[in-house]
Structure formats: structure tokens, C-alpha cells
Structure 1
Amino acid sequence: MDLKTKVGTGVIAAAIGLVAAWEGRSLVAYVDPVGIPTICDGYTHSVKLGDVATPAQCDVLTEQEVRKALAVVDGSTPGQLPDGVRIALTSFVYNVGPGAYGGSTLLRRLRAGDLIGACNQLPRWVYASGKKLRGLERRREAERQICLSSLR
């Protein structure tokens, strides 16, 4: 395994850990705070109430979605971002989706080379359906700290 592959694997593992820590795992589908049927670690695609998953299925879905989110992050800027920024923004994209990320001031700052400014945009993303959620406040602060950690 070459160095780039090892680094990429480490970023994915760290992002999976961060996502899992904040999403929480449910093996039975439930309705999330904005009314979306959700299962496993925040997985929402084609989920219906009554769906059930095994831990192994959840592991596969979470890794698949983290890889997609990382690809969005990595494809959004011309250069390689520091690992802490990649990990934090992968968790963020996993949570808010690529569309919200794609139109964000956070991404505009990232593309302008203002990595600190981009990281400091994360705490603005604490609302779900117009309601400020304490869990999102805590998650965004953790993501911000990780994002900034590789810039110090």
C-alpha cells in the first residue's frame, strides 16, 4: 500500500469515527428531527419506517456514504486540503448533503484559500427546519476544532 492510499484510508477511518460519534446508530428506521426516515448512522436514501438493518449493513452504508462525502470535499477545491480539514468537512457534507455544501459561504472561503475562515463557518450550520439544535451546535464545534487542528 503506497503512502497516498494509507493517508486516504486514515482519513476515511477518522471521518467514519467522527460521523458515527455524532449520528448515533439505530438498527430500526426512525424519523429524524426534520422529518426524514433514517436508519443506521444517519442514512436516509430510500429509507422507510419499519426498515431494519444489521450492524454489518450499517457499517457498509456508513463507509459508502463517508467515501461519497469525502469525494465531494476532495473534488470541491483544486488542491489537496490538510487531513483535519478533509475529515471535518467530510462529516459536515455527510450531515448536510452536497447541495447545501456546494452553495455555501464555507465552500467559497475554502476555494478562496481562506481555510481558517472556512472552518469558522461550521458553527453557522446548527439549524434544522429553522430550529437551533444543541446536538448540531456541539457537532459543529467538534468539526471546527478538527478542521482548525491541521492549520495550527
Structure 2
Amino acid sequence: MLNKRIAGYTLAATISIATAVVASFEGLRTTAYLDPIGIPTICYGHTATAKIGDSKTPAECKEQLSKDLLIAIQDVESRVKVDMTVERRAALVSFVYNVGGTKFGSSTLLKKLNGGYVRGACAELSKWVYAGGVKLKGLVTRRAEERALCEVGL
């Protein structure tokens, strides 16, 4: 029972931290728009079903963010084979939320992490600052925060 409770607390803490990071960097936009590389986006950076012309309420956006974060958590949990701190897990969830599970799954970051080279894996985050071949200041800032979270405890 205690292990299930601890796992529940860990999940809750991960969601709490990841929600704060994602929401602060994505921002809330209740009307669909094109992101910097032309992908239709709505709410807190949701792209999977967004179409230009869509609109959602803040409550619908919050619900969508929760659903999308759970997908990102599942992506991280299914690919990472080593123990992680809550902060590292939240950093990776924010990262996967932004770049997607497929890119994470084939990344050097994941290979280093699963190989036990945690510091090197966290450093890889700093390389993911380009969108459409253009270095974006917002991604530089976001990756710095994700990296700092990733490195907690090192």
C-alpha cells in the first residue's frame, strides 16, 4: 500500500511541476493559431487536433493540457529504463510535450539517460532549441529550465 501511495505522490508531483513549466512556456491561447513553424496550435501548445478557426474555453484548455501531459508521461515512462527524480521526470515530460514522444524515443538524450550518463543526458536538452531550422529564444529559455530541473540532485 505504501509503495502505491508513494507512486501516486510521485505522479502528482510530476504533473504539478510539468504543468507549471508547460503552461508558463506555452501560454494560454483559446483561439487556434499557427506556431513559429506553421503548425496549428491551441490552448497550452496543443497541436494534435488543433485547426485554424477552433476556439476553446480556459476550462477546456486546462482539461486538454491534463490529457496531453498524461500522454507525455506515458511516453517518458515507456522509454526511460532508469530511476529518475521527480524533477528529472517532470523536465522530460515538459520536453516530450514540446517535441513529441517519437523524437524523444530516437534521441541521444534518451540513449545517454538509459545508459546511465545522466549529466550528459540532461546536457542534451540544450541542443533542442531549433524549430524549422531557426534557433528560438523561447526554446533556449525553456530548455535551460528543463535542464536545470533535470540536473536536480546531480
Contact kept, 8 Å, 1:126 with 1:136, in 2: the verdict is yes
Deviations 1:66-116 (A, max 9, x none): 111111111112233111110100000000001111111001101101111
The worse-fitting range, judged by mean Cα deviation, of 69-78 and 133-142 is: 69-78
1:21 corresponds to: 24
Verify: 1:88 aligned to 2:91, yes or no.
yes
CA distance in 1, matches of 2:76, 2:49: 23
Quick check: 1:122 aligned with 2:125? yes
Structure-1 separation of matches of 2:19 and 2:123: 22
- 2:38 partner amino acid: G
Match of 1:68 in 2: 71
Partner in structure 2 of residue 30 of structure 1: 33
Instruction: Give the drift of 1:46.
Output: 2.0
Structure 2 residue matching 1:120: 3-state secondary structure: helix
- The yes-or-no answer on 1:2 pairing with 2:5 is yes
Counterpart-to-counterpart distance in 1, 2:94 and 2:30: 20
1:132-151 mapped onto 2 (5 Å cutoff): 132-149=135-152, 151=153
Code of the residue aligned with 1:13 in structure 2: it is S
Q: Provide TM-score, normalisation by structure 1.
A: 0.95
1:58 is matched with: 61
Cα distance in 2 for residues equivalent to 1:102 and 1:3: 27
Distance 1:82 1:46 in 2: 32
Structure 2 alignment gaps of length 5 or more: none
Q: Does 1:112 align with 2:128?
A: no
How far apart, CA to CA, are the structure 2 residues paired with 1:98 and 1:118?
A: 16
Q: CA deviation at 1:3?
A: 2.2
The answer to whether the 8 A contact 2:32-2:42 is kept is yes
The residue identity in structure 1 corresponding to 2:77 is D
CA RMSD across the alignment: 1.1
The share of aligned pairs that are identical, in percent, is: 41
Gapped runs of 5+ residues in structure 1? none
Aligned residues: 151
User: TM-score with structure 2 length normalisation?
Assistant: 0.94
Q: Kindly indicate whether the alpha-carbon contact (under 8 Å) linking 1:74 and 1:81 is maintained by their aligned counterparts in 2.
A: no
Counterpart residue identity of residue 117, structure 1: G
> What is the CA–CA distance in structure 2 between the aligned matches of 1:83 and 1:46, rounded to whole Å?
29
